[in-house]
A and B are shown apart, each in its own frame.
Chain A
Amino acid sequence: MALILKTTRFIETQIDTFLDILSDSATTFEMAMEDYLNNRIEQFETRLAQIRENEHRADDLRVSIERFLYERTLIPENRGDVLAILENTDEVIDNIKDSLVQFSIEMPKIPESLNDLWMQTTKASSNAVEQLSFAVRSFFRDLAAVNNYIHKVYFFEREADHIGERLRREIFNLDIELSQKSQLRFFAMHIEKISDYAQVVCDRLSIYAIKRQL
């Protein structure tokens, strides 16, 4: 039996590694944001480099998993669903990277009074991604638990929306240039969007989980 499951176990490991990268990226994003707000720009750039590396690895893994699933005609009934999950999850990592790259390019000046709300929005988005990694993992291993994690993702997405809105109101209440307000709003929304992407993946995941149930 071990011999028959050899290929399967190999792909299982690859999927797990892919989801580890997703989870790591969420944590790294949170830490990078903290570095940025605390003016540790060098450390921020190191984190960005880490995320770039993660994104590359995730891309390679996704392609490799897709190739294996097709070449060995594995899970024919769920293959399309699994590939969609992996591709959408990969987009979440891309979004995290894009967001940080944008910070690195534009280096927006964030008034210190916004730090707390900024970090809260970041944490909510990062938690949504973290829970997404659990949800996807359960889709493969523990179908009954998927809905619990999906529920958590929705919770953190709403939280990110809610705090993000407060953050944007706060931005426009500040006595700063309109151009700066506009720029900060763009970054705040970028952070919120990460949780939105996590939610989109979950929307699909909940349908796929129903399809997988007997």
Chain B
Amino acid sequence: MIFIYLLSGLFLGWSLGANDTGNIFGAAVETRMLKYKTAALIASIFIFLGAVFEGSGPSGTLGRLGSVDALGGAFTVALAAALTITAIVRTGIPVSTSQTIVGAIIGWNYFSGRLTDFQNLLTIVSSWVIAFVLSGIIAALLFYLISPVINKGKIHLLEQDVYVRLGLIIIGAFGAFSLGANNIANVVGVFVPVTPFKDINLGSFTLSGIQQLYILGAISIIVGIYTYSHKVMRTVGKDIFHLSPVTALIAVTAEAIVLFIFASRGLQNLLLSIGLPPIPLVPVSSTQVIVGAVVGIGLVKGGKNIRYNILGKVSLAWIAAPVIAFFFAFIALFIVQNVFEQTVCQKTIYTFNRTTISQIEKEGLDVNHLSSVNGHKYYRELEIYKELKAEKYFKRSEISKIIRIAEVYPLKVDINLLRDKGLVNRFSKEQWEALFKLEGREFKHQWQLKEALAKDPSWQRRKEITERDKLHNQDLEEQFNLLFRTLYFPPA
């Protein structure tokens, strides 16, 4: 049953392998600089590695946008995204899986009455535009650097051919790695909160449940590469971007760099260590990124050969894809829940009683403005939002905080369960000791477990002075989410 649910995600993976590999190797294969077989092999290996080892960053961002909490919901969200892609691709607009999946997740949020994190949504949407522009800038700079070497340098044509070929292989591999890391979130990202897989300990190395999910997603991408990408590569290389091998190398380099920037935790840590602000890890569209690169090169060359209608199509996709996916997801969730009687979201209760109100006060929020909700029980976050919004006192982020406190989420600390799920290596020795002390205890709200654990320094948040502290808190938050998902103890 679990695998049937995963099918829609795997279909997205297949579509990614079939379509997006063309953005990396299309021009190289079409200009016959690389054989299709070589391109497919390199793409398969590196997309797999990128997805499994660097894929967690962008997935986390998607998870924060909306944490789909039921397998049926994740299935439907991925299915709605896949249907949207199929529908839009027919219009010739370079549609992005990232944009459709975001629209579909918001559709789920709306259907299940959850509040969408606007801050996160803004980060994601702005990243699409930034990625497009950044790719153009990088490609233009690379063009400036490389064109004198080609035009005025004294490299023999045949030697240049060898270097470009090597470049296409190496950069292609890097691009495939970045694509896997950046886009695996689109394939299985919505399944992350509900992953059915347990951690597997392989000596000093642990293969987490999420990584196993990524592996499955990566395999579906590889199937996509081997079954359908040849045709797409030829189309991409011939019709959309008819590039010379050198220009193709520049465009693919820009694409790979941008995908990597928006996917790499390593790069994020490096930026933090030298005191620079980190770049958000967001799944971006490889098609739009390479279009950005081609436009950048076109502008440097005088802007004569740019097909401006393609720019219009890209901008349209930024809006059309999420909106269509939103409606598809909403309708599909309705059908799956009411016709097929599948659980698409957990039924969550939100209570405003003495315990939760005093906790809200502890968080520094003025409880005098909670009179409209005090003593009530709610089943939808949006209802609470509407009530509190009418008070015209709280900001959206504060309402979000109040909702998290009011949410009833029964938990029972069960060390054996954590061990059974293979989470041994996920927590430090000190964190385990703190968990042992709470063995058997039950909590009604997530924050209660957090508070109980925070008595131990290993579970404490840091004051966010530096970006490194922010990252520590983010990691801690992920550990908490893992605990919550595992220790969820619904009343019989």
A binding-site residues for B, Cβ under 8 Å: 4-5, 8, 11-12, 73-78, 82, 139-144, 212-214
Task: Let me know if A214 and B247 touch, CB within 8 A.
Answer: yes
Closest to B246 in A: A214
Chain B positions 96-153 with a Cβ under 8 Å from a chain A Cβ: 143, 146-147, 150-152
CB distance from B145 to the nearest CB of A (A): 11
Known: A5-B162, A76-B33. A82 touches B152 (CB 8 A): no
Task: Let me know if A144 and B159 touch, CB within 8 A.
Answer: no
Besides the known contacts A4-B162, A141-B155, A143-B150, 7 further A-B residue pairs in the complex with CB atoms under 8 A apart = A5-B162, A74-B158, A75-B161, A82-B157, A141-B157, A212-B150, A214-B147
**Distance, CA A142 to CA B151, complexed state (A):** 8
Task: Let me know if B158 and A12 touch, CB within 8 A.
Answer: yes
**Distance, CA A120 to CA B159, complexed state (A):** 40
**Distance, CA A213 to CA B160, complexed state (A):** 12
**Distance, CA A118 to CA B156, complexed state (A):** 38
Binary interface profile of B, 154-171, with partner A (CB < 8 Å = 1, else 0)? 111111011000100000
Task: Let me know if A8 and B159 touch, CB within 8 A.
Answer: yes
Task: Let me know if B161 and A213 touch, CB within 8 A.
Answer: no
* A73: chain B residues within 8 A (beta carbon): 32
* A140: chain B residues within 8 A (beta carbon): 156-158
**Distance, CA A8 to CA B159, complexed state (A):** 7
Closest to A10 in B: B158
Task: Let me know if A8 and B162 touch, CB within 8 A.
Answer: yes
Q: How many cross-chain pairs have Cβ atoms below 8 Å apart between A and B?
A: 56
In the assembled complex, 30 residue pairs joining A and B whose CB atoms fall closer than 8 Å, in A order, are A5-B162, A8-B159, A8-B161, A8-B162, A12-B158, A12-B159, A73-B32, A74-B161, A75-B157, A75-B158, A76-B31, A76-B33, A76-B245, A77-B31, A77-B244, A82-B157, A139-B157, A140-B156, A140-B157, A141-B155, A141-B157, A142-B154, A144-B151, A144-B152, A212-B150, A212-B157, A214-B146, A214-B151, A214-B246, A214-B247
CB distance from A84 to the nearest CB of B (A): 14
Binary interface profile of B, 240-268, with partner A (CB < 8 Å = 1, else 0)? 00001111000000000000000000000
Known: A143-B150, A144-B151, A214-B247. A76 touches B32 (CB 8 A): yes
* B156: chain A residues within 8 A (beta carbon): 8, 12, 140-141
CB distance from B73 to the nearest CB of A (A): 49
**Distance, CA A143 to CA B151, complexed state (A):** 6
Binary interface profile of B, 365-378, with partner A (CB < 8 Å = 1, else 0)? 00000000000000
